[in-house]
């Protein structure tokens, strides 16, 4: 199967992702206003995504050339304009494609789940930071950012090794 998410297939991509995670997690130590943090994190996310994409956009390697990947994705999807049935990749009776209400419900459930996870992650970070402050750590979010960046890099490295071995 083709991997269409190749932004962690190079060392530069993995370092970029890990650095971005570390910086985003450490922002509360350096930017006090929630609105300012939102703006800074948005700018960093867009910039980091652009940098990561630029690192992977060129070359003739099938795994990193975006044009080749898009062509492969279009071929894998097939004709997505057909209704569900024998002329389509969508099986007849597919619960998501049969009804816009079901599709909307699935998207809404995914959005709610994402919101809950983001809120829970923020709560956990705040509690960890408060506990670290009580123990004398002056910049707890920076420590959490360093740990998060390291974990992100290790997980990406492991995924790359597994992909290379397959």
Q: pLDDT digits over 16-68, tens only?
A: 889 999 999 999 999 999 999 999 999 999 998 888 777 766 544 555 566 67
Query: Among 30, 59, 58, which Cα is nearest to 44's?
Result: 30
The pTM (predicted TM-score) of the whole model is 0.68
Q: How wide is the angle at C-alpha 25 spanned by C-alphas 112 and 50, nearest 5°? A: 80
Find tokens 């997690």 and name the residue: 25
């Amino acid at each position: 199967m083709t991997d269409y998410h190749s932004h962690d297939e190079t060392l530069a991509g993995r370092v970029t992702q890990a650095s971005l995670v570390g910086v985003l997690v450490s922002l509360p130590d350096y930017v006090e206003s929630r609105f300012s943090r939102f703006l800074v994190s948005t700018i960093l996310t867009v910039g980091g995504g652009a940098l990561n994409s630029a690192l992977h956009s060129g070359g003739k390697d099938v795994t990193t050339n975006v044009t080749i990947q898009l062509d492969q994705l279009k071929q894998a999807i097939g004709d997505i304009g057909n209704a569900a049935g024998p002329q389509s990749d969508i099986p007849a009776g597919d619960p998501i494609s049969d009804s816009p209400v079901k599709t909307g419900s699935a998207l809404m459930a995914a959005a709610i789940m994402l919101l809950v996870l983001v809120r829970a992650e923020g709560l956990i970070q705040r509690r960890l930071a408060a506990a670290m402050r009580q123990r004398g750590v002056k910049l707890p979010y920076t420590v959490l950012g360093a740990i998060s960046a390291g974990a992100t890099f290790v997980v990406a490295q492991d995924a790359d090794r597994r992909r290379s071995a397959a």
